[in-house]
Structure 1
């Protein structure tokens, strides 16, 4: 077997050959490089999404299994914290894309056809896990199951705070992930508004309006239960 090298381990030859621009090679070189930049940014996002989805899938499985190892909650915290950082990186990727010149984007955008970020399957999976839209996602339902297995409820976890131990740390990490997801989507709307305005999206969506309607913040029940603590604190003490 050939000795493993950095290049062969990362399959660099294949990796660096995956950026196929659609604009004719006769176009201005700056425009070709702008499309190349656009492709690299989106491919990078998909790779980070792959890691985030894999990490969250393991968290879901650890929390939902009644036979989880004793350190399942702590492992889940570690994974959730990693995903929170990945979402920060994805947010930064959007900010990097703001360095795409509008005059160059206008020239290569027609060559994208109907390709659209809204078609990302991994993004949809992430949305289902976090609860993108109405109701709670797979991850929160697994958290509820885990609390039940431990003879507790999410309301109890919120009320106990740090005294809730590992379940409290999981809840805090879930919120870090949810907030990171929300910030990423808000940044995307800002980018879309800057680059496309009210124009229709390449995939046939309504563009900016479509993205605005999809901005939801995950784990609404957890947030509501935490907020309810304020009412409890302000309630008069029985005589």
Structure 2
């Protein structure tokens, strides 16, 4: 029997060419896990959070690209990017299931080692929130020591959100979005209005005439639905690890996370279901 030759012509000399590890900068990536203690589960804790930051990097990339297209009233390619956001969100949510294999006793072995460091301070998470429209200028404060991060967040805070850009398209289609909605102070939280609800009702009641807007609306719901699931899994993971102790960064821990669950990003898109 002839030996299997299916792999024998594969390129194996990388002394003068780019290898898989070189392309992905694996030496840098895999050396970035630096536990502060000898606790076995600290590596798990670090890896889960680093992986989540990588998914958030992709989410920011896709959100900003989709928003750039929506600003030009280009909907279809933006929908593909938002679908990718949804799939990345699913991966982030599933990561909590891996972290839940760590018990409270496991966590207490290293929790004190990282002091005031907290996911609350993730600038990428805050950037995702700002892009989606959850605006709060106070949340800029933990990033004052990093001017490059602060600038990114400030730009997002004062620019139209994903929902604002969607409402601009509704206005351009003649669906009666008030000027005060389109020209509001973007650094402040969005306030729902009857006129915007009426515009979305028109889209949902006449889907054939507004199919691309209807599809955009449902994609926005997908994004917020997955964002809520991520937050809920975060809440339950923290509660099973530390109960109602304060969070490591000084927040109220579970209390703070429960409050975050009340935030609604695209309110009229949820209200429209009751009105139909």
TM-score interval (norm. to shorter) = 0.7 to 0.9
What is the correspondence of 1:8-27 to structure 2 with a 5 Å cutoff? 8-23=22-37, 27=38
Give the whole-Å Cα distance in 2 for the aligned partners of 1:227 and 1:55.
Answer: 31
SS of the aligned residue for 2:221 comes to: helix
3-state SS of 2:41 partner: helix
- The alpha carbon displacement at 1:212 in A equals 0.8
In the alignment, does 2:168 pair up with 1:154? no
For 1:192 and 1:181, locate their aligned partners in 2 and report how far apart those are by CA, in whole Å: 17
Deviation of 1:162 after TM superposition, in Å, equals: 4.7
Aligned to 2:165: 142
- Equivalent residue number for residue 39 of structure 1: 46
Q: Which stretches in structure 2 are left out of the alignment for 5+ residues?
A: 1-14, 137-159, 176-198
Aligned pair partner of 1:197 in 234, 237, 243? 243
Q: Residues 20-65 of structure 1, C-alpha deviation per residue, up to 9 Å, x if partnerless?
A: 1011xxx3xxx2x310110000000001011111111112221123
User: Is 1:225 the counterpart of 2:248 in the alignment?
Assistant: no
- Alignment of 1:74 onto 2:88: no
Counterpart Cα distance in 2 of 1:166 and 1:75: 11
Distance 1:162 1:155 in 2: 13
Partner residue of 2:91?
A: 89
Counterpart check, 1:118 vs 2:127: no
Tell me, in whole angstroms, the C-alpha distance in 1 between the residues paired with 2:246 and 2:123: 21
Segments of structure 1 that go 5 or more residues without pairing to the other structure are 230-239
- The size of the alignment, in residue pairs, is 215
Are 2:213 and 1:213 aligned?
no
Question: Could you say what the CA RMSD is over the residues aligned between the two structures, in angstroms?
Answer: 1.8
Greater relative contact order: 1 or 2 (C-alpha under 8 angstroms, separation 6 or more)? 1
Q: Secondary structure at the match of 1:206?
A: coil
8 Å CA contact retained: 2:200, 2:268: no
